[in-house]
Amino acid sequence: MRHPVNIPTPASFSREHIQTVGDMFVENARIQCRNVDVFYGEKHAIQDVSLDIGRNEVIALIGPSGCGKSTFLRCLNRMNDTIPGCRISGEIKLDGLDIYANGLDVVPLRAQVGMVFQKPNPFPKSIFENVAYGPRIHGLAANKLELEEIVEKSLRRAGLWDEVKEYLHHPGTGLSGGQQQRLCIARTIAVSPEVILMDEPCSALDPIATAKIEQLIDDLREHYTIAIVTHSMQQAARVSQRTAYFHLGKVIEVGDTALIFTNPRHQLTEDYITGRFG
């Protein structure tokens, strides 16, 4: 982390300047996005976004509603493919490989880039089955014992093991909202992805569950690259190392979280984080 400048200085880029400012690129990036445009039919949802996501970092994507941050996140594991009328241009590379290359299979990609959704969406199956499903379809466990190990490890990492170890064969939908979301995180990390995308994972949760998940994100950073979309600037400040501010489909400013929140360079960023809109 760079040394944050603690004395706020006035933003040096005016609202009319709509080019990305800040450090979009990092060395040895895990995901490299170059000139990404996304269209929903006629709607130009994302315009010319270039952004790197580094290894073992948490990057927060913030911005007002409808600014395209979720859309951008869903590009990273090609979840937008399921939306009819959605077109994507530009280049997104995961470890140097173009994920939109012709003939690329999305199944291994989504195993590498896992996703946690805004609303907890456990399968209507037992807790064990929820976590075991990913390893099972990918054939990650050679036998039942190994599968049980993976399930336990994933639930432990998600901080859920102690709460559910007695009830592994109870339905996952019977858990509380926060537990369900942690179950979804356990389900995602059971596949051992390299990148985890989180789309407002705490928006449906109470503060205590939120704190638990934030703690979890911090712990997960050791093993994974995490991109998190959030509406809460406090959350972005707490969990992320880098922050990207989206505005009307464009990335306005990218930089160290500490810098962005203390010393934004762009007027729009400053407007947003000081609560003038959004």
Closest approach of other proteins to the CB of residue 170, in Å? 12
Please say which residue, 26 or 140, places its beta carbon nearer to other proteins.
140
- Answer yes or no: are the C-beta atoms of 114 and 106 closer than 8 Å: no
Sign of CA dihedral 18, 24, 30, 34: positive
Total residues at the site for other proteins (CB under 8 A)? 29
Closest approach of other proteins to the CB of residue 115, in Å? 4
- Answer yes or no: are the C-beta atoms of 226 and 236 closer than 8 Å: no
Closest approach of other proteins to the CB of residue 168, in Å? 16
Choosing from 31, 59, 86, 191, the residue that interacts with other proteins (CB under 8 A) is 191
Please say which residue, 187 or 238, places its beta carbon nearer to other proteins.
187
Q: What is the DSSP letter of 100?
A: T
Rounded CA gap, 242 and 256, in Å?
4
Please say which residue, 5 or 107, places its beta carbon nearer to other proteins.
107
Please say which residue, 68 or 134, places its beta carbon nearer to other proteins.
134
Kindly state whether residue 31 participates in binding other proteins, applying the rule CB under 8 A.
no
Sign of CA dihedral 217, 203, 158, 129: negative
Q: What is the DSSP letter of 11?
A: -
Rounded CA gap, 38 and 72, in Å?
8
Closest approach of other proteins to the CB of residue 129, in Å? 10
CA angle 234, 73, 138 (to 5 degrees): 115
Closest approach of other proteins to the CB of residue 201, in Å? 12
Kindly state whether residue 77 participates in binding other proteins, applying the rule CB under 8 A.
yes
Bin 233: left if φ > 0, else alpha if -120 < ψ < 50, else beta.
Answer: alpha
DSSP 204-224: TS-HHHHHHHHHHHHHHTTT-
Q: Which of residues 92-111 bind other proteins (CB under 8 A)?
A: 107-111
Q: Which of residues 108-167 bind other proteins (CB under 8 A)?
A: 108-111, 114-117, 119, 121-125, 133-134, 137-138
- Answer yes or no: are the C-beta atoms of 116 and 193 closer than 8 Å: no
Choosing from 84, 139, 207, 275, the residue that interacts with other proteins (CB under 8 A) is 84
Closest approach of other proteins to the CB of residue 197, in Å? 8
Binding footprint of other proteins on the chain (CB under 8 A): 77, 79, 82, 84, 107-111, 114-117, 119, 121-125, 133-134, 137-138, 171, 184, 187-188, 190-191
